């Protein structure tokens, strides 16, 4: 990375890295809770299911608070550690992933889903893994470390999710129950969108690292 005299003369607000880590932390917690939920939903009581869904909702709401804080602080901060536009874009896209995840949990609640195909859990496993890699990417952004390995892993997981989506849809349309098809078509589409949203954040961070040199 090139030397910039202004880095020595002007203090940069590194609190934005803390905010981003908090936001990603809520996403990771939500993804982990979702994986646990779909992995054992068939044996869970209604109260236990509602409790897990509430955790995901709380993660989404907490993420919203962090996103608003980031935007408010951007409006008050003169020097930021990276371009303020990049910070804003990262924040809204992490929030988008949380929103989609919460939307899936709402589908489980609204549709009274109490049994899921195995591929839903496989998707949840990919989401947990790619969220962990996004956390690594944010850490690399803070420490100026390379994200080459992280980027490779995120891309591999995105490809795996894309293939799983096509396989899942093919299996789904072999079902005879149209209600089942409608329910899980939405679920699979949302699951793929979560992966795509997280992968997009990874691409944004790679672009920021390129600009940093």
pLDDT digits (tens, 9 = 90+) for 161-177: 999 999 999 999 999 99
Quote the pLDDT of residue 11.
Answer: 44
Q: Any idea which residue has 């839903």 for tokens?
A: 120
Question: CA of 136: how far to CAs of 71, 87, 95, 115, 146, in Å?
Answer: 23, 16, 17, 33, 10
Quote the pLDDT of residue 135.
Answer: 94
Q: For residue 190, give the nearest of 133, 115, 127 by alpha carbon.
A: 127
Question: CA of 95: how far to CAs of 89, 113, 136, 141, 206, in Å?
Answer: 10, 25, 17, 18, 19
Burial class (CB in 10 A: 0-12, 13-18, 19+), 11: exposed
Quote the pLDDT of residue 76.
Answer: 87
Q: Are 29 and 128 in contact (CB under 8 A)?
A: no
Longest dimension (CA), the chain: 68
> Within a 10 A sphere around the Cβ of 35, how many other Cβ atoms?
20
CATH 1.10.10.10 fits 12-212, yes or no: no
Quick one: CA torsion of 162, 165, 171, 172, rounded to 10 degrees? -160
Specify whether the backbone of 173 is left (phi greater than 0), alpha (psi in -120 to 50) or beta. alpha
Question: CA of 196: how far to CAs of 11, 18, 203, in Å?
Answer: 35, 24, 10
Q: Where are the domains of the chain?
A: 12-212
Give pLDDT tens digits for 20-40.
999 999 999 999 999 999 999
Q: What is the pTM of this model?
A: 0.90
Give pLDDT tens digits for 89-99.
999 999 999 99
* Tens digits of pLDDT across the chain (213 residues): 444 443 433 345 678 999 999 999 999 999 999 999 999 999 999 999 999 999 999 999 999 999 999 999 999 888 888 898 999 999 999 999 999 999 999 999 999 999 999 999 999 999 999 999 999 999 888 887 888 899 899 999 999 999 999 999 999 999 999 999 999 999 999 999 999 999 999 999 988 888 776
Distance between CA atoms of residues 83 and 87, nearest Å: 7
């Amino acid at each position: 990375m090139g030397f910039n005299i202004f880095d020595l003369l002007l203090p940069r607000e590194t609190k934005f890295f803390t905010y981003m880590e908090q936001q990603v932390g809520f996403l990771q917690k939500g993804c982990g809770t979702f994986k646990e939920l779909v992995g054992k939903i068939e044996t869970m009581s209604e109260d236990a299911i509602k409790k897990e869904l509430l955790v995901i909702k709380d993660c989404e709401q907490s993420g919203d608070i962090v996103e608003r804080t980031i935007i408010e602080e951007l409006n008050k901060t003169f020097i930021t550690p990276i371009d303020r536009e990049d910070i804003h874009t990262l924040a809204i896209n992490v929030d988008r992933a949380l929103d989609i995840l919460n939307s899936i949990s709402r589908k489980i609640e609204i549709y009274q889903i109490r049994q899921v195909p195995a591929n839903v859990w496989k998707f949840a496993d990919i989401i947990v893994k790619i969220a962990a890699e996004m956390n690594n990417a944010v850490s690399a952004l803070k420490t100026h470390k390379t994200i080459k390995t992280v980027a490779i892993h995120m891309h591999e997981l995105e490809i795996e999710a894309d293939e799983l989506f096509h396989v899942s849809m093919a299996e789904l349309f072999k079902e005879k129950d149209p209600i089942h098809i409608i329910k899980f078509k939405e679920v699979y589409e949302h699951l793929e969108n979560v992966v795509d949203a997280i992968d997009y954040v990874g691409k944004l961070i790679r672009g920021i690292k390129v600009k940093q040199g």
